[in-house]
Amino acid sequence: MSALTRTEAQLRAQLLDVHHYVVSLDLTTGDETFDSATAIRFTARAAGDTFVEIKPDELLTATLDGNPLDPATLDGNRLPLTGLTPGPHELSIGARMRYSRTGEGLHRFTDPADGETYVYSQMFMDDVQRVFPAFDQPDLKAVFEFTVTAPAHWTVLTNGIATRTGDREEDGAGLWQSAPTPVISTYLAAVAAGPWHSVTTTHAGLPFGIHCRKSLAPHLDADADEILSVTTACYDRYHEKFTEPYPFDSYDQAFVPEFNAGAMENPGLVTFRDEFVFRSAVTDTERQRRAMVIAHEMAHMWFGDLVTLAWFDDIWLNESFAEYMGYQTLTEATRFTGTWTEFGMERKPWGYAADQRPSTHPVAPGPDDVPDTASALLNFDGISYAKGASALRQLVAWLGEKDFLAGINTHFTRHKFANASLADFVDSLAANTDRDVHTWAETWLRTTGPDTLTPRIQDGAGGWTLTVDRHGSRPHRIQAGTYTRTADGTLERAALLDLDVPTDEVLSAAGPRPDLLVLNDGDLTYAKIRLDETSLETALRGLSRIPDPLTRTVVWGSLRDMVRDGELDPFDYLRTLDAHIPEESDLAVVQGVLGFARTQIADRYTAPADRDTALGLITSATRDLLRRTEDGSDPGLRLAAVRTFIDSATQPDTLAAWLADGTVTGGPELDPELRWRILARLSVLGAVDGAAIDAALAEDPSATGQQGAARCHASLPTPEAKAAAWQRLFHDDTLSNYLFTATAHGFWQPEQADLVRDYVPRYYPEAVALATRRGPAIGEAAGRWAFPAHAVDPANLEAGHACLEDPEIIPMLRRVLVDQLDDLARALRVRGA
């Protein structure tokens, strides 16, 4: 299949104006394929040739202005349209299309809990072509209408309000018609159909709905008030910020199965992964994360849907803005006021890690950096999301929120229902401020890598002086917090100093030097932060005594970066964790610190001989947290501690006792998530067998249960289990995206390195072949989740680099492997340090 190049898109946009799609889908034709018939009205500005894209199972008919086209001329995914004359045209195409099992195009899922079937679309980038033909590029916007034939008991959801208009006479199948949309891009068209369980309301004169599969109905109902409350609060807050009103006729949120992303911003029909319908206990930070995704996707209704990028070099105009607005608006409009702490602990490290790999790219790449859709797909990463949002937070600190919002609203007014570029956005900002935003954009958005800021403190006569060394090229407006240790050990903030970096100015202060100085206190910029020697000693001894969780986040982030850069012994981090996490009150900090320690330090940065010691320090901290919360005072902290204790256990006795009793000692009782988590760890430790896993699946035959069982079977420490799992991963092409990922999660275990040693060199050629057969979604999963990350050794690194030279490797897998191999090299350096 040919990727669309930027040059081809520009030429087609000069030739065509696309007006209207009428898409007719028949979802009653079988389990493997569906029928798709589409009429596209467009105008040619001049005589010329072009093409329309489609990826059919079988192209049945095609006519242009009533004249037949030869289906045999379809070349890959391109049907040529030759000899166009100036003026209006209508293209009609009928095709048989294939359902997806990988979350691309029109994904079909049968729920093992009740046998009900659901389909939903994911049209992003070029996957609309798997559903219907399209002039598939973001700047050829058009009106979309869907007519859908679906089984009689199904409900159909689309971008516009969908109405059941009748029944098909021969079998009673439902006939559905959607309202026409405003002009939107092809990748934003959406349809979802099935026997949905729905909760609906009306807000601000518009219908709002939330939807999930029937087997999740009790869980959606339990959280419906919270989900709708967050949704309507964000909707109201955006209308206070933005002068352009919400531009669509309804707002549906569908929680769909086996979804690859967190969510997708289809206008009027946002789709979310249905893990956000919680069927087991979750922490409040996880509820906050769901709320943030809701806020993020709603921001896209303006950033991406109302005003859309002209080409995919400007995905930051979608994702960075939605990320920033999601976190900021959630803080302003809902009970979730600790969002920036969670951002600093979870999202920002994602950006820092991505920005230090060979695959890094500017937040806003240049046109030549994104030559086609295949390369564009690679940039949906921690840079476009977390780094971009951090840059916007710094822009607000530098520009002021009033001028920032004025620039945004100018941008909406100028480009609504159209397309825009970085230059357009910067011009809109410049119209509302005297500051040089063009230079700011070049400095912040066209460069790569994080800066590093290091304080230099010197004692002087009657006081102390501060200078800040910057390794990098960006200007930073930050705050520096100074802290003094009080008699009870609390680190009390003495001052909050405003700084512009770089500067030749030396800041002078009277009195003794602070016990702790924290650059970027408040986390307003994007830069790695170092601590001076005195502050580092204070932090290691007294981190939990810093009052503000966001300041603690900055300090923990500094320690994390020092470990990753080989400047702090990983065991110093673990000892600091053991000393301070039992006293930590902020859930996001606890989860972030424990997560880094468990998945990176214990699994990758620690030599195998020291791994049990590392896990012991982690479980020591979690035991202290369990003792602290046994009175029920903080169920969220307790749940986080229980999960990490399970994942870090090196002996099966306690976990086996919990499983037999159906409860953690002192609570909580085991819900499905905890039960499968314990079974997964016991499987790794060889303390359960396949029969026990199958018995658990019989008790929980849900989709989540099937994924849990797949992971457990792959985790068993036997040659037979590993061989069977490998066969399913790399040679059984029927695994859905979620079952593939679950199996991959189980296969590689540091405890089983000897058992799986021979599979490490096999991984590379077989992953390349798999990705070629099954496409980008499975290719990404194979690179991200099936990679032998536990094998931190030069031989694995050498084999991986040799694989990158394979001419058959698809771009998505290659990009993920570049990142994985860089992380592997970093782990080797950390171990060496």
Q: How far is CA 704 from CA 228, 603, 684, in A?
A: 25, 25, 19
How many Cβ atoms from other residues are within 10 Å of residue 795's Cβ? 11
Q: Burial level of 353, CB count in 10 A (0-12/13-18/19+)?
A: buried
DSSP 459: E
Nearest 5°: phi and psi at 166? 165, -170
* H or E stretch covering 155: strand 155-158
CA nearest neighbour of 644 among 598, 606, 684: 598
CA distance 63 to 38: 11
CA nearest neighbour of 153 among 120, 186, 197: 197
Residue whose tokens read 């063009």: 438
Residue whose tokens read 């230079």: 439
CA distance 381 to 316: 10
CA nearest neighbour of 642 among 683, 607, 594: 594
Residue whose tokens read 């018609």: 177
In sequence order, what are the residues at sequence separation of 6 or more whose Cβ sits closer than 8 angstroms to the Cβ of residue 212? 196, 197, 219, 220, 254, 255, 274, 277
Contact between 736 and 102 (Cβ < 8 Å): yes
Q: DSSP secondary structure string, 247-263? A: -SS-EEEEEETT-SSSE
- 280, β-bridge pairs: none
Catalytic residue of the set 244, 265, 286, 297: 297
The question of whether 8 is a catalytic residue gets the answer no
In sequence order, what are the residues at sequence separation of 6 or more whose Cβ sits closer than 8 angstroms to the Cβ of residue 648? 598, 602, 615, 618, 619, 622
DSSP 434: S
CA distance 215 to 263: 20
Residue whose tokens read 């109201």: 236
Beta strands of 31-139 (E only): which ranges? 33-44, 48-53, 58-64, 67-68, 78-84, 87-98, 105-110, 117-122
The count of C-alpha atoms lying within 13 angstroms of the C-alpha of 824, restricted to the half-sphere facing its C-beta, is 22
CA distance 785 to 781: 5
| Catalytic residue positions, numbered | 297
